[in-house]
Amino acid sequence: MAVAEKIIESLSANERKILPYLNENIEEISKKSHLDRTSVLRALEYLENKGIVTLNHEKKKFVELGVNGALYKNKGLPERRLLSLLNEKTILKLEDAQKQSQLSDDEFKVSLGVLKKKALVGISNGKISLSARGDEISKKSLEELFLESLPMEYRLLKPEQLFALKSLENRRDIIRIKEEESVGVNVTKVGEEIVKSEKKVGELIEAVTPQMLEKESLWKGKKFRRYDVTSQLPSINGGKRHFVNQAIDYARKVWTEMGFQEMNGNMLQSSFWNFDALFTAQDHPVREMQDTFFVNKKAELPDKKLVKAVKDSHEKGVDGSKGWEYEWNEEEAKKVVLRTHTTCLSANTLGKMDKKNIPVKFFAIGKCFRNETVDWSHGFEFNQSEGIVVGKNLSFRNLLGYLQEFFKKMGFEKIRFRPSYFPYTEPSVEIDVWHPEKKIWFELGGAGIFRPEVTIPLLGEKMTVLAWGPGFDRMIMDYYNIKDLRGLYKNDLSKLRKMKFWMK
């Protein structure tokens, strides 16, 4: 009894609140004690340290609907909507089928693949026709039945549900698999004794207050709660910037210490600055919807003199080149895009530059967007490190020197350069760095000297401009040993708290 009484005298207010309900599950303890789940779990951990309970931690996997999954559960899977349309029309041109089914490009492509694999449709001569029988059309697919059954614990899935899961898991945000931890509470013999004896001890004083010091009657003859200074406390995590922002801040510091000024600009850019000013032909594949995110908006172009100079560069060429020899379209240049690279900031800076300030150096680090399929090594958004040096007596060796200095300051000791090709630089190089642990070279991005077709229209004269734009996310992934690019953007607080500080 003496041991039990000592333990009782060390219990906090929250620990005493949950004592009568230790035979319940966590949710019931929380409900009956009027404490939130976090407070209950913390109190249980303290009780475990004192030998009152033992806790069993069990992790369970659950399958639930993603954002698109919830939408498709109500509206029907894309393949179901296409199949229903064909049930009415029987045969349609592919473009008409997509338009009438109101499916996106990705949804339509996936639907075609799914239905063709199941031999429910036929495709020939640019047309899609119905091959399914009436009973096959009305019968719900395994995937549809599976969506209707969610959420569900992973271990309870039947073989046909596992098949449906495998079919859906590669499709964007239809299903999600999450892991939850359940906590079981077992009361020890000491704990049972304490639960019976706790009421006899009465209220304990938790802390000394100024009022107690003034009035003796508030504490005299009463018991103070014992404090166990050897018990483990929950870890306290101080506030800090997201590790990606830490890395960007460090790179910004490196460039400014090397004498560079920062360039800034909007994520929405006109095609003029994103493509045309960089001598990217208007029929180049990169300017199509499968590569670039377009915004339903038109931008205003800069002054007519600059626009004409860029137009002439494309149509006739400059400095002895032939250009692209096509008719340049001003309306195409007005299309607004989510910038596909930060090099558009370099073009914009050159177009507005006061030549009295030359020689001059600029850098930028910013987010870019491309219409990529998301996987471990690709994303539709990424960070890029951009830089230009403008002057009259610059050489290719100067370019390599700047790059070597920057990457050394970023922690890469062994660097190599390979000849390459880019539409708006000549000569051009690819930058590789050596990974000492993996014993491999890995590519970080490209650099070069801007072509005359870029610099003459923007600056009004021939000028050497060193330029580079390597991806920045790969550097971050290497430093933090992140294997999947998507890990840069997942806000898992438990992992973020454990991330080391960026200190090269």
Grade residue 198 by pLDDT with cuts at 50, 70 and 90: low
State yes or no: pLDDT of 262 exceeds 90. yes
Q: 3-state class of 336 per DSSP?
A: strand
Q: How far apart are the first and last CA of the chain?
A: 58
Where is the domain boundary, 177, 209, 236?
177
211 with 259, same domain: the answer is no
The answer to whether 368 and 341 are in contact (CB under 8 A) is: yes
State yes or no: pLDDT of 464 exceeds 70. yes
State yes or no: pLDDT of 468 exceeds 80. yes
- Report the pLDDT value the prediction gives residue 266, as an integer from 0 to 100: 92
482 with 335, same domain: the answer is yes
310 with 343, same domain: the answer is yes
Q: 310 lies in a domain?
A: yes
Q: Three-class SS string for 130-179?
A: ECCCHHHHHCCCHHHHHHHHCCEEHHHCCHHHHHHHHHHCCCCCCEEEEE
- Mean of pLDDT values over 276-285: 91
The DSSP secondary structure of 383-404, one letter per residue, reads EEEEEEEEESS--HHHHHHHHH
- Report the pLDDT value the prediction gives residue 199, as an integer from 0 to 100: 56
Where is the domain boundary, 115, 148, 177?
177
Average pLDDT, the chain: 86
Closest residue by Cα to residue 169 from 379, 370, 381, 375: 375
Q: What is the dihedral of CA 261, 265, 269, 271, to 10 degrees?
A: -10
- Report the pLDDT value the prediction gives residue 307, as an integer from 0 to 100: 94
Exposed e or buried b per residue across 389-409, where buried means at least 16 C-beta atoms within 10 angstroms of its C-beta: bbeeebeeeebbebbeebbeb
User: Could you read off the pLDDT of 28-43 as tens digits, one per residue?
Assistant: 889 998 999 889 988 8
User: Could you read off the pLDDT of 354-367 as tens digits, one per residue?
Assistant: 888 889 999 999 99
Which structural domain, as residue segments, surrounds residue 272?
Answer: 247-491
Q: 134 lies in a domain?
A: yes
Grade residue 228 by pLDDT with cuts at 50, 70 and 90: low
Q: 182 lies in a domain?
A: no
Q: 280 lies in a domain?
A: yes
- Report the pLDDT value the prediction gives residue 316, as an integer from 0 to 100: 92
- Mean of pLDDT values over 330-345: 93
Residue 99, CB half-sphere, CA atoms under 13 Å: how many? 5
Q: 242 lies in a domain?
A: no
Comparing 202 with 262, the larger pLDDT belongs to 262
> CATH no. for residue 283?
3.30.930.10
Phi/psi of residue 54, nearest 5 degrees: -120, 145
The answer to whether 78 and 174 are in contact (CB under 8 A) is: no
325 with 459, same domain: the answer is yes
138 with 16, same domain: the answer is no
User: Could you read off the pLDDT of 77-125 as tens digits, one per residue?
Assistant: 888 888 888 888 888 888 888 888 888 888 888 888 888 888 888 888 8
State yes or no: pLDDT of 230 exceeds 80. no
47 with 170, same domain: the answer is no
- Mean of pLDDT values over 396-407: 92
> CATH no. for residue 135?
1.10.10.10
98 with 153, same domain: the answer is yes
Q: 501 lies in a domain?
A: no
- Report the pLDDT value the prediction gives residue 202, as an integer from 0 to 100: 57
Pairing of the two strands 360-369 and 261-262: parallel
195 with 281, same domain: the answer is no
Reported pTM: 0.58
475 with 375, same domain: the answer is yes
Comparing 441 with 221, the larger pLDDT belongs to 441
CA 376/CA 382 separation, integer angstroms: 13
316 with 172, same domain: the answer is no
Q: 172 lies in a domain?
A: yes
State yes or no: pLDDT of 10 exceeds 80. no
State yes or no: pLDDT of 225 exceeds 80. no
Total domains present in the chain: 3
420 with 478, same domain: the answer is yes
CA 320/CA 187 separation, integer angstroms: 88
Q: 230 lies in a domain?
A: no
Grade residue 299 by pLDDT with cuts at 50, 70 and 90: very high
Comparing 298 with 231, the larger pLDDT belongs to 298
- Report the pLDDT value the prediction gives residue 107, as an integer from 0 to 100: 87
204: Cβ contacts below 8 Å, ≥ 6 apart? 9, 11, 222, 223, 224, 225
Among residues of the chain, what percentage have pLDDT more than 90?
30
H or E segment to which residue 433 belongs: strand 425-435
State yes or no: pLDDT of 323 exceeds 70. yes
Comparing 327 with 171, the larger pLDDT belongs to 327
470 with 404, same domain: the answer is yes
Grade residue 349 by pLDDT with cuts at 50, 70 and 90: very high
CA 142/CA 79 separation, integer angstroms: 13
Grade residue 2 by pLDDT with cuts at 50, 70 and 90: low
